[in-house]
């Protein structure tokens, strides 16, 4: 099986100024068409580090994909180092030059300067991959049967090249493995209990199929991966095993697709032709942003009232001032009133609400940092839950969001008996 190494170049990755989302995306796309990424390496903008990485990764993989260091400024040194590694001079590529001129004169309306024209220079021995979304061209090299591709680090430029050029080229040159995944999401059960529960299933798996546990936000994703040179009847075997796995974990099953919780809820609502809204205090729009991140969410999501300030809770959500005075903004009564208020104001079938103290400051003895009340329901009934979150502000926000969405999912599937 062909192995791929991804090398990302840039000091910003090594001092933590930037999170590398490129290589996850690349790995995902490659995996879908049967290539396996075996290593991902991040190094700084240093000549020796880059040369050594090219040498070492090509000893371990047939395909080496490189991103970063192709900008027009002095800290971008990938291009001269590639020239040194492949013993070839820099030459101007006419098509890339046209592209640079076009972008500056027609799209950016910015003065075109000498430094930009240098973007059109490429190592003479490479095959140029034109950049339809930016100025820096991609470069493809072959050396001793190994393929090297260098692409810009700007995510949407790299993505355009991968989709339009690099992946089709790799498919034409290499025979791929048959890789297939089946993923399901569980909630309300720990990784260890789950593992014990399906131990018999796991130990009976054929070596061609691997089971992985991916815990996150208090939920556990289970993934079956088939990896084999030819599919044959294996895909239906995988389906059978996945059906068996689903049956075994049915009491905790959230969805049998590799989709996030917000998308699973979207599917439920579309099926029922129903709508929802959010009323958010502590999550401050995070839950609404999760929901609207799903294309097509306008079919079931009408909007939100982000009531960060208590005045907004009173004026727009109709929370009783006495409740805020007596129970406080972080209370079961408040989130109940927020759900009712959002359904009334936004005219939806369901709403969710959050109110809490996510930190780092703002806690009291009675309500310490991490205290969050959540609610989900319709105009008649609702479910509520108190959370004690123990992490930093961002993770507390994510956990509150995941929990309130799961509360809504539970409510939609089995609303409590009226008056119960």
Residues 292-351 that bind a copy of itself (CB under 8 A): 292-293, 295-298, 301-309, 311-312, 315-316, 345-347
Under the binding rule (CB under 8 A), the answer on residue 26 touching a copy of itself is: yes
Whose CA is closest to 89, among 99, 79, 97?
A: 79
Minimum distance, C-beta of residue 137 to a copy of itself, in the bound complex (Å): 15
Minimum distance, C-beta of residue 79 to a copy of itself, in the bound complex (Å): 15
Minimum distance, C-beta of residue 89 to a copy of itself, in the bound complex (Å): 23
Minimum distance, C-beta of residue 86 to a copy of itself, in the bound complex (Å): 23
42-101 binders of a copy of itself (CB under 8 A): 42-45, 49, 56, 71-75
Distance CA 19, CA 21 (A): 6
Kindly give the residue spans of alpha helices, DSSP state H, lying in 188-255. Answer: 191-197, 199-203, 234-248
Kindly give the residue spans of alpha helices, DSSP state H, lying in 113-166. Answer: 114-117, 155-161
- The pattern of x and - marking residues 182 through 221 that bind a copy of itself according to CB under 8 A reads --------xxxx-xx-----x-------xxxxxxx----x
Phi and psi based region of residue 387 (left: phi greater than 0; alpha: psi -120 to 50; beta: remaining): beta
Contact range with a copy of itself by CB under 8 A, out of 83-91, 244-252, 264-272, 388-396: 388-396
Contact range with a copy of itself by CB under 8 A, out of 85-93, 122-130, 262-270, 356-364: 356-364
Spatial CB neighbours of 100, under 8 Å, sequence gap ≥ 6 = 112, 116, 117, 119, 120, 135
Burial readout 42-79 (b: 16 or more C-beta within 10 A, e: otherwise): bbebeeebbeebbeebbeebbbbbbbbbbbeeeebbbb
Minimum distance, C-beta of residue 56 to a copy of itself, in the bound complex (Å): 8
Contact range with a copy of itself by CB under 8 A, out of 248-256, 264-272, 394-402, 404-412: 394-402
**Locate tokens 């609303």: which residue?**
415
Cβ atoms 335, 400 nearer than 8 A: no
- The pattern of x and - marking residues 105 through 124 that bind a copy of itself according to CB under 8 A reads ---x-xx-xxxx--------
Nearer to a copy of itself, 142 or 196 (CB): 196
155-184 binders of a copy of itself (CB under 8 A): 155-156, 159, 181
DSSP category for residue 177: P
* Token pair listed for 306: 């982000």
Distances (CA, A) of 53 to 49, 78, 140, 321: 6, 12, 17, 63
248-287 binders of a copy of itself (CB under 8 A): 258, 278, 280, 283-287
Minimum distance, C-beta of residue 366 to a copy of itself, in the bound complex (Å): 19
């Amino acid at each position: 099986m062909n192995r791929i190494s991804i090398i990302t170049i840039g000091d910003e990755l090594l001092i933590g100024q930037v999170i590398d989302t490129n290589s996850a995306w690349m790995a995902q796309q490659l995996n879908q068409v049967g290539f396996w990424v075996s290593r991902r390496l991040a190094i700084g903008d240093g000549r020796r580090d880059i040369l050594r990485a090219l040498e070492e990764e090509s000893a371990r993989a047939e395909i080496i994909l490189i991103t970063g260091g192709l900008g027009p400024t002095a800290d971008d040194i990938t291009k001269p180092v590639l020239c040194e590694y492949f013993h070839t001079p820099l030459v101007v590529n006419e098509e890339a030059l046209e592209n640079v001129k076009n972008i500056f004169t027609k799209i950016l309306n910015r003065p075109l300067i000498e430094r930009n024209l240098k973007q059109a220079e490429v190592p003479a021995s490479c095959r140029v991959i034109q950049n339809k979304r930016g100025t820096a061209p991609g470069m493809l090299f072959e050396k001793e049967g190994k393929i090297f591709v260098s692409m810009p680090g700007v995510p949407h430029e790299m993505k355009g090249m991968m989709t339009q050029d690099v992946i089709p080229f790799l498919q034409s040159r290499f025979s791929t493995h048959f890789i297939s995944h089946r993923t399901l999401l569980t909630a309300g059960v720990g990784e260890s209990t789950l593992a014990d529960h399906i131990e018999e299933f796991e130990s009976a798996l054929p070596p061609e199929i691997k089971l992985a546990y991916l815990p996150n936000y208090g939920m556990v994703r289970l993934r079956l991966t088939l990896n084999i040179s030819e599919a044959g009847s294996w895909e239906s075997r995988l389906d059978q095993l996945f059906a068996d796995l689903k049956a075994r974990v049915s009491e905790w099953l959230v969805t049998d697709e590799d989709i996030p919780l917000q998308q699973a809820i979207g599917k439920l609502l579309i099926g029922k032709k129903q709508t929802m809204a959010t009323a958010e205090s502590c999550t401050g729009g995070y839950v609404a942003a999760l929901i609207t991140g799903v294309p097509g969410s306008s079919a079931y999501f009408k909007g939100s009232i982000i009531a960060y300030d208590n005045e907004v809770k009173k004026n727009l959500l109709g929370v009783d001032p006495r409740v805020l005075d007596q129970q406080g903004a972080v209370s079961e009564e408040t989130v109940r009133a927020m759900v009712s208020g959002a359904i009334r104001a936004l005219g939806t079938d369901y709403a969710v609400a959050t109110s809490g103290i996510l930190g780092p400051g703002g806690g009291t003895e009675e309500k310490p940092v991490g205290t969050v009340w959540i609610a989900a329901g319709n105009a008649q009934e609702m479910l509520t839950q108190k959370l004690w979150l123990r992490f930093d502000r961002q993770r507390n926000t994510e956990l509150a969001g995941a929990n309130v969405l799961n509360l809504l999912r539970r409510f939609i599937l089995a609303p409590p008996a009226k008056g119960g």
